[in-house]
Structure 1
Amino acid sequence: MARNQLPPQIRKISVTDRRTAKEVVRYQVTVDAGTREVPRLRPDGSTYLHTTRSQSRRRFDTEKDARAYLARVTDEVNRGVHVSGSTLSVDEVCEAWLAGRRVRPTTKNAYRHALEPLRQFHGAMPVQRLTKGHLDSLVTALAAGGTPMTPQSVRRPWSPQSINPMLNIISAVLTDLVKQGLLVRNVALLVDRLPRTQPQMRTFSVEEMRQMLAFAQTDRVGHAWNLALSGLRRGEICGLRWSDVDLDAGVMSIRNNRVSVAGQAVDGLTKTERSNRDLPLTPVLTAALIAARERQDLESAAAGANYGPGTHIVCDVLGHAYHPDTLSNFWQTACKRAGVPQIRLHDARHTCATLMHLQNVPIAVISAWLGHADSAFTMRTYAHAPNDALKIAAQSLQTMSDLHGN
């Protein structure tokens, strides 16, 4: 019986065996894998997808293996699931993905920071060789802490609140590559996310809040504590400018945000569109801001030409805005000096929401005051009943029980 003719995609060739230096027969398969889109960078830093034709070429010892490979690849190409070999590295695809994000600079910086460990550990690796095991090991190392950041410093242990977003961003990068036909699957989806533990939120009682506000009158940055207990986020306090406040009209406009990204203070817009809000000033807050304005005028006069911009409401003696982490450190010192529990700075915002809730302010109004997207989040996150209020609730139940018994 006549021997089957080889298909045009398979060639019988003679090559020199590298080990024996003898001529051997091999079967070379060349398959047209269609087109694929490869991310490329423009000179201005933006990214675009370059369409190129792709071929898959391999050699086999036997005709049987060559035919099996040809059949498999042809089927994959017809079904649109074939992925050709690529030398694109993890570092290259991360940079291309970042260049294509149309997001705020602060958001892009946060993405870049989250991808740093992956790029540090596996940046030179071809992305097609990245496995679930690589990501599992990365998660373990970050959770343990001690991974190098610079020759002089190491990372602190990362919490689930940092690791899980990192995995989500890695997953977004790999999903993009799957869509482009550069990966068969997204291995980041196979990595288990770490269980998140919500930090327990503690609040000041009414008396503790009054005690803190009384101390704030003696603290150089005490107006920051007034703003915190008025429900502003840390970034909103640090980003608030004098141009945002109308002391005569008694209104402050929340439009700016100063956050920490990769250890650097970055000014930007507020967290969400709903975070933009105009809030009436209370008499206590108005007095604190007037005192702060007068103090900054004195500091500016004393510093003369050395004084900085002085545009931010909360700034140092030379008129420079504080790093958000610095304000958190100041807050802990202030709590200790005021003789109140050392809660987090963000819990001052939580205190504002909770005390408003206990004063029967409608949840929808509290949500608008805090700049939340919806009231359900406000109720779920901030409407925390302190122990004193729970005791009052228990007493009311006891009263009703006594009436029922009579």
Structure 2
Amino acid sequence: MARRNSNGEGTIYRRKDGRYDGAVYVLTTSGTRKRVRVYGATRAEVSRKLTEAKAKNDQSIPVSDKPWMLGDYLDYWLKAVVKPNRRPATYAQCETIVRLYIKPGLGKNPINRLSVALVQRWVNELLGGGHSVSKIHVIRKVLSAALTRAEREELIARNVARLVELPPEERKDVKPWSAEEVSRFLEAVSSHRLYAAYLMLFYGLRKGELLGLRWQDIDVANSKIHIRQQLQRVGREILIGPLKTTKSRRDLPLLEPVKQALAAYYEKYAIEGADLVFTTTEGGPIDPGNFLRDFKRICGNHDLRVISVHTIRHTVATLLKSRRVPDRDIQLILGHSRIVTTQEVYQHDDDESRRAALQGLAGSLLDPTHTKAARDVRPGLPWSFIDGNGSRRLSRQFNNLVDGDTTDNFGGAYRIRTDDLFHAITNHGSALQRATEVKRTLEARKRAWMLGVVAVNLAVKILK
């Protein structure tokens, strides 16, 4: 009599064509149980596949309750995940990339059968088709975001898009305006209807943040500007939406020149009943594309180097850096989430600062008495702390250290060593002498302690 399989063990039988078929009930992502089937040329192969399926079920790793094709899952992801939780512009970008690139190339593949090799071949085809490396990075980012969601829903075991190799992303060479070019531009737009808007660009505002400003965001009483929303074009619509990141929500000081420019704009051009500060002559929102075209037209008409409106944010970051404003303050002004974005992307080098630094270094190396070089190379230190060799003057602290007094520490924002540590590094002989004295003192006290222990033990024995 044939043995009956126990519950959950699964079944294996041979089909008429000679192949083997196996089946077992497992848990699905919806919480129900489903009978899955596996196939193989031999009984041992089917048995191995069943064992793997049962092992995952024992580990509470569910299987999909329906066979998802990547294209179908991308449609679900856009509708149920991206659209309700992301900004309209983000949804529009993701939808375009899915429709034009991902679905035509990979949409007919089962999502749980995507492999690194398959996705890598598809990416290589896109690169060979003439698409830029930056575009391929964006496409891979969208696919990876969708597969990450599928991984969280336990539809796949790993995100293969993260394992695909791409060439390094090509970063555009951005050359911001100099202070002289900024002055020429502001002079050129001094009589323009939107002079106040162009002036406020040099707060480092994003284009959408500037065009989305409301009169209620201009706090004249407290001399502040509240950045709370942005205006964007999405498809054929101009929409008011949330800011790019949480750090974009910020308050900036209302400077006097900006206050006067806004007052003049309000008296001459403000439309009664309009909520937005900057509007068209009819009172509607300004199209960001039209604002950019007008900006470039002004630059061309006045022989200014043509840049984008967004490059002004790079200009602001670079000019603030040249004025030795701390990076943290620049980050808060621009509304970046991470300070590394401010430092690596928005701050650019300038010839003047590099020349001054190298001249200062050359002066200190070639002429030790050239004290001005020390000031140029290390501008963060007070002048009273610089000696004739371009180093911190530590004679007073050194004397205190030798006498056994506690010295002051001045480590801080400029990442300069504290006086004691800097002195110890630059005065090896004195530090070694001090350490030798400490060692001798410890050895003397250890000997005294040992003699005391011996004396106590002898006294105890005598008393006994």
Category of TM-score, reference length = shorter chain = 0.7 to 0.9
- Tell me the distance in 2 between the aligned counterparts of 1:179 and 1:403: 64
1:192, CA displacement in angstroms? 1.4
- Tell me the distance in 2 between the aligned counterparts of 1:221 and 1:144: 45
SS, match of residue 252 in structure 2: strand
Letter of the aligned partner of 2:111 in structure 1?
Answer: V
TM-score by length of 1: 0.74
Q: Name the residue aligned to 2:303.
A: 339
SS, match of residue 305 in structure 2: coil
CA RMSD of superposed structures (Å): 3.5
Return the match for 1:95 from 57, 67, 75: 75
SS, match of residue 286 in structure 1: helix
- Tell me the distance in 1 between the aligned counterparts of 2:215 and 2:27: 56
Return the match for 2:264 from 266, 286, 291: 291
Specify every segment of 5 or more residues in structure 1 that has no aligned partner in the other structure, as ranges.
14-23, 38-49, 146-156, 302-308
Return the match for 2:95 from 108, 112, 126: 112
Q: Name the residue aligned to 1:383.
A: 347
Q: Structure 1's 230 and 133: CA in aligned 2 closer, same or farther, altered over 3 A?
A: same
Q: Name the residue aligned to 1:56.
A: 36
SS, match of residue 404 in structure 1: coil
1:330, CA displacement in angstroms? 2.4
- Tell me the distance in 1 between the aligned counterparts of 2:109 and 2:20: 27
> Is the 8 Å Cα contact of residues 36 and 180 (structure 1) preserved in structure 2?
no
Deviations 1:163-209 (Å, cap 9, x if unpaired)?
32432332232244345453354332332133112222222222211
> Is the 8 Å Cα contact of residues 38 and 49 (structure 2) preserved in structure 1?
no
> Is the 8 Å Cα contact of residues 76 and 82 (structure 1) preserved in structure 2?
no
Return the match for 1:268 from 217, 238, 241: 241
Deviations 1:258-297 (Å, cap 9, x if unpaired)?
3455675442222222221111122332233233333433
Q: Name the residue aligned to 2:286.
A: 322
Residues 28-43 of structure 1 aligned to structure 2 (within 5 Å):
29-37=21-29
Higher mean C-alpha deviation, range 109-118 or range 190-199: 109-118
Residue 331 of structure 2 is aligned to residue 348 of structure 1? no
- Tell me the distance in 1 between the aligned counterparts of 2:43 and 2:66: 21
1:124, CA displacement in angstroms? 4.8
Q: Name the residue aligned to 2:414.
A: none
Q: Structure 1's 241 and 133: CA in aligned 2 closer, same or farther, altered over 3 A?
A: farther
Q: Name the residue aligned to 2:461.
A: none
Higher mean C-alpha deviation, range 350-359 or range 157-166: 157-166
Q: Name the residue aligned to 1:9.
A: 11
* Larger fraction in strand: 1
Between structure 1 and structure 2, the one with the greater Rg is 2
Return the match for 1:231 from 201, 204, 214: 204
Letter of the aligned partner of 1:105 in structure 2?
Answer: R
1:392, CA displacement in angstroms? 3.3
Return the match for 2:144 from 171, 176, 184: 171
Q: Name the residue aligned to 2:215.
A: 242
- Tell me the distance in 2 between the aligned counterparts of 1:30 and 1:133: 28
- Tell me the distance in 1 between the aligned counterparts of 2:265 and 2:140: 43
SS, match of residue 258 in structure 1: strand
Deviations 1:20-74 (Å, cap 9, x if unpaired)?
xxxx55555241140121xxxxxxxxxxxx23322233566x6xx1442133222
SS, match of residue 72 in structure 2: helix
- Tell me the distance in 2 between the aligned counterparts of 1:105 and 1:97: 15
Q: Name the residue aligned to 2:162.
A: 189
Residues 214-229 of structure 1 aligned to structure 2 (within 5 Å):
214-229=187-202
Return the match for 2:171 from 198, 216, 220: 198
> Is the 8 Å Cα contact of residues 90 and 122 (structure 1) preserved in structure 2?
yes
* Larger fraction in helix: 2
Deviations 1:203-260 (Å, cap 9, x if unpaired)?
2222211111111223333333212222111221222222211345432111112345
> Is the 8 Å Cα contact of residues 31 and 74 (structure 1) preserved in structure 2?
no
**Aligned pairs, number:** 359
1:360, CA displacement in angstroms? 2.9
Q: Name the residue aligned to 1:45.
A: none
Letter of the aligned partner of 1:93 in structure 2?
Answer: Y
- Tell me the distance in 1 between the aligned counterparts of 2:96 and 2:158: 24
- If asked which structure has higher relative contact order (CA below 8 Å, sep 6+), I would say 1
1:323, CA displacement in angstroms? 3.3
- Tell me the distance in 1 between the aligned counterparts of 2:128 and 2:209: 32
- Tell me the distance in 1 between the aligned counterparts of 2:107 and 2:64: 20
> Is the 8 Å Cα contact of residues 56 and 85 (structure 1) preserved in structure 2?
no
- Tell me the distance in 2 between the aligned counterparts of 1:348 and 1:25: 72
1:396, CA displacement in angstroms? 3.5
Q: Name the residue aligned to 1:312.
A: 276
Specify every segment of 5 or more residues in structure 2 that has no aligned partner in the other structure, as ranges.
371-464
TM-score by length of 2: 0.66
> Is the 8 Å Cα contact of residues 33 and 84 (structure 1) preserved in structure 2?
no
